[in-house]
């Protein structure tokens, strides 16, 4: 009986909310429908009597009411020291700590902070984890670390699931090459936990076996903490409610959209009701009033980029003539084929350049990333290959067209004048920060402008030494 007694208030609350929603919708939509004809017809009488209204105002008449503008309230965010992720299922707070702990010790540490080890919902969260880990590693001089994640091995398979009670789907499982491999039968037992491998830019001056794992996931033994030896962990917990009145806001938005769409439909519809009033003694001017001239056809507005579909968070959106193209720039000392494999982990390919705007975007994003580490120039792999038997190139991403984006540096492509290392069959974009010119680190690039292209050996990573890559993939359909 106690349980039944507890359930009654809950049921009353649920049904009350439903009833309130229905009443709220009704009260919003019914007045909206009622004012449409009045607004459409009275707009003309208001404009025709504008002079008299103006006269009244100057002689003490009432000023017309002006609607008040309101500034939208900012969305809630996590407490200080926690990163805020606005997930579809609600706000999720994340925090990264550094300590030489095993998986279970890290889980206990997160519990002391009111959370659990966190999963990865999407690529934006993974980028936060990478950037925050790098920020903590740089002062120590350590160049690589393993970050414990909240995941468990599915028994009898080589698959994993998130276990933090909030992360959903598989979008966040960015595995490294050949992973998860469960240790390939290693005698230490199954690898039932996951770690995110993170490198700082300085790692690439002396890379080791982890080089193919650029900010990707590896399965690992839960009780081990030595590979990589520097350990971190990411905690997660539920954040504040995104909006306690969200259901009211949704209903209000629907009602406003209905008002706008109904008003727009009248602009293109039949005005006979208003014209009839004018011609037959209505408020529009009495008998003998002149009918309004027909309205000119309304032009179809061009789509506003602010309301067009956009790429996922962490990707730049390029509105190409052939469709939306999503671009992201990554950092890592990878050769051409390794960079292409890295893009594949994001669901993309190495990207070509459609136009000058994309060229500017890629070079500036590369500079933004390298300036944080006081690196002044870099080479960014592009999705292109040399045409056999010629000194020309073609884009290979299956989407980029034309040659407008192929803005070569001085004397390029030169195929390195038939250097004994073989043909230069790949392309790199050279990005130079403003600080490069204060102390050029390479005399080779002083004749280049930032964003110009050089042909290069696909298997080389020395010049420039800082390597990056531009990934691309198809965006949402318009």
> Could you report the per-residue pLDDT of 227-282, keeping only the tens digit for each?
999 999 999 999 999 864 444 454 455 555 555 544 444 443 344 333 333 333 33
Q: Are residues 200 and 322 in the same domain?
A: no
> How many CB atoms sit inside 10 A of residue 290's CB?
9
**Residue-level pLDDT at 57:** 40
> How many CB atoms sit inside 10 A of residue 131's CB?
16
Q: Which of 6-10, 219-223, 312-316, 356-360 has the lowest mean pLDDT?
A: 6-10
**Residue-level pLDDT at 262:** 47
SS3 sequence, the chain?
Answer: CHHHHHHHHHHHHHHHHHHHHHHHHHHHHHHHHHHHHHHHHHHHHHHHCHHHHHHHHHCCCCCCCCCCCCCCCCCCCCCCCCEEEEECCEEEEEEEEECCCCHHHHHHHHHHCCCEECCCCCHHHHHHHHHHHHHHHHHHCCCEEEEECCEEECCCCCCEEECCCCCCCCCCCCECCCCCCHHHHCCCCCCCEEEEEEECHHHHHCCCCCCCCCCCEEEECCCCCCCCCCEEEEEEEECCCCCCCHHHHHHHHHHHHHHHHHHHHHHCCCCHHHHHHHHCCCCCCCCCCCCCCCCCCCCCCCCCHHHCCCCCCCCEEEEECCEEEEEEEEECCCCHHHHHHHHHHCCCEECCCCCHHHHHHHHHHHHHHHHCCCCCEEEEECCEEECCCCCCEEECCCCCCCCCCCCECCCCCCHHHCCCCCCCCEEEEEEECHHHHHCCCCHHHCCCCCCEEEEECCCCCCCCCCEEEEEEEECCCC
pLDDT of 284 above 50: no
**Residue-level pLDDT at 277:** 34
In a domain, 430, yes or no: yes
**CA pair distance 259, 253, nearest whole angstrom:** 10
pLDDT of 218 above 80: yes
> To the nearest whole percent, how much of the chain has pLDDT over 90?
47
**CATH code for the domain in which residue 137 is found:** 3.10.100.10
Band of the pLDDT at 294, cuts 50, 70, 90? very low
**What length does the chain have?**
478
**CA pair distance 439, 34, nearest whole angstrom:** 72
**CA pair distance 292, 227, nearest whole angstrom:** 81
Asked if the bond preceding 180 is cis, omega within 30° of 0, the reply is yes
In a domain, 288, yes or no: no
In a domain, 26, yes or no: no
| Per-chain mean pLDDT for the chain | 78
Where is mean pLDDT largest: 52-66, 72-86, 102-116? 102-116
Compute the half-sphere exposure of residue 414: CA atoms within 13 Å on the CB side of its CA.
Answer: 8
pLDDT of 287 above 50: no
Q: Can you tell me which residue has the tokens 């010790």?
A: 105
Q: Are residues 234 and 101 in the same domain?
A: yes
Q: Are residues 119 and 229 in the same domain?
A: yes
**Residue-level pLDDT at 201:** 82
Instruction: Tell me which of 238, 261, 293 is where a domain ends.
Output: 238
User: 450 is in which domain, residue-wise?
Assistant: 316-474
**CA pair distance 107, 258, nearest whole angstrom:** 49
Q: What is the mean pLDDT of residues 143-149?
A: 95
Q: Are residues 231 and 323 in the same domain?
A: no
pLDDT tens digits for 23-44?
444 444 444 444 344 434 444 4
Inter-residue contact 171 to 122 (CB < 8 Å): yes
pLDDT tens digits for 181-212?
987 778 888 999 999 999 888 888 788 899 88
**CA pair distance 435, 439, nearest whole angstrom:** 7
Q: Are residues 323 and 230 in the same domain?
A: no
Instruction: Tell me which of 238, 266, 283 is where a domain ends.
Output: 238
pLDDT tens digits for 398-438?
999 999 999 999 999 998 766 677 899 999 999 998 888 77
In a domain, 230, yes or no: yes
Q: Are residues 98 and 224 in the same domain?
A: yes
Inter-residue contact 81 to 95 (CB < 8 Å): yes
Domain count, the chain: 2
Instruction: Tell me which of 238, 265, 283 is where a domain ends.
Output: 238
In a domain, 364, yes or no: yes
**Residue-level pLDDT at 68:** 61
Nearest in space to 219 (alpha carbons), one of 193, 254, 198, 243: 193
Q: How far is CA 96 from CA 166, 248, 302, in A?
A: 17, 36, 45
**CA pair distance 411, 406, nearest whole angstrom:** 13
In a domain, 22, yes or no: no
Q: Angle 246-267/2-48 helices, nearest 10 degrees?
A: 30
Q: Are residues 321 and 228 in the same domain?
A: no
Cβ neighbourhood burial of 146 (10 Å; 0-12, 13-18, 19+): buried
Q: Are residues 320 and 469 in the same domain?
A: yes
Integer Rg of the chain from CA: 31
Q: Are residues 98 and 184 in the same domain?
A: yes
Inter-residue contact 168 to 204 (CB < 8 Å): no
Strand partners, 384: 395
Band of the pLDDT at 305, cuts 50, 70, 90? low
Which has the higher per-residue pLDDT, 158 or 103? 103
According to DSSP, the β-strands at 231-238 and 144-148 are: parallel
């Amino acid at each position: 009986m106690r349980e039944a007694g507890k359930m009654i208030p809950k049921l009353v609350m649920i049904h009350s909310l439903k009833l309130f929603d229905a009443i709220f919708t009704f009260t919003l939509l019914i007045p909206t429908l009622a004012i449409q004809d009045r607004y459409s017809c009275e707009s003309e009488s208001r404009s025709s009597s504008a002079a008299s209204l103006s006269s009244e105002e100057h002689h003490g008449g009432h000023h017309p009411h002006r609607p008040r503008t309101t500034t939208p309230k900012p969305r809630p965010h996590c407490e200080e020291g926690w990163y805020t992720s606005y997930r579809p299922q609600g706000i999720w707070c994340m925090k990264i700590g550094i300590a030489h702990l095993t998986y279970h010790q890290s889980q206990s540490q997160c519990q002391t902070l009111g959370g659990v080890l966190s999963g990865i919902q999407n690529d934006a969260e993974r980028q936060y984890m990478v950037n925050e880990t790098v920020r903590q590693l740089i002062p120590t001089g350590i160049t690589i670390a393993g970050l414990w994640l909240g995941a468990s091995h599915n028994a009898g398979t080589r698959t994993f699931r998130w276990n933090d009670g909030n992360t959903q789907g598989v979008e966040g499982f960015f595995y490294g090459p050949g992973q998860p491999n469960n240790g390939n039968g290693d005698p230490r037992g199954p690898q039932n936990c996951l770690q995110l491998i993170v490198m700082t830019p300085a790692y690439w001056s002396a890379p080791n076996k982890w080089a193919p794992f650029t900010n990707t996931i590896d399965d690992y033994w839960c009780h081990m903490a030595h590979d990589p030896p520097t350990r971190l962990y990411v905690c997660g917990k539920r954040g504040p409610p995104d909006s306690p009145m969200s259901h009211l806001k949704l209903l209000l938005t629907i009602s406003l959209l209905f008002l706008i769409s109904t008003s727009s439909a009248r602009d293109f519809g039949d005005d006979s009701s208003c014209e009839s009033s004018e011609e037959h003694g209505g408020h529009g001017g009495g008998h003998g009033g002149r009918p309004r001239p027909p309205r000119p056809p309304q032009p179809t507005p061009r789509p506003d980029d602010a309301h067009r579909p956009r790429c996922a968070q962490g990707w730049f959106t390029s509105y190409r003539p052939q469709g939306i193209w999503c671009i992201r720039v990554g950092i890592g000392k990878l050769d051409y084929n390794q960079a292409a494999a890295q893009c594949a982990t994001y669901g993309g390919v190495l990207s070509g350049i459609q136009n000058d705007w994309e060229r500017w975007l890629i070079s500036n994003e590369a500079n933004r990333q390298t300036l944080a580490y006081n690196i002044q120039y870099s080479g960014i792999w592009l999705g292109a290959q040399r045409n056999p038997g010629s000194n020309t190139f073609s884009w290979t991403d299956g989407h980029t067209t034309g040659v407008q984006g192929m803005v070569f540096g001085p004397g390029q492509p030169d195929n390195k004048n038939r250097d004994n290392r073989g043909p230069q069959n790949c392309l790199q974009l050279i990005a130079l920060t403003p600080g490069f010119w204060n102390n050029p680190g390479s005399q080779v690039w002083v004749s280049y402008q930032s964003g110009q292209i050089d042909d290069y050996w696909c298997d080389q990573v020395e010049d420039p030494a800082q390597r990056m890559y531009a990934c691309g993939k198809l965006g949402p359909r318009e």
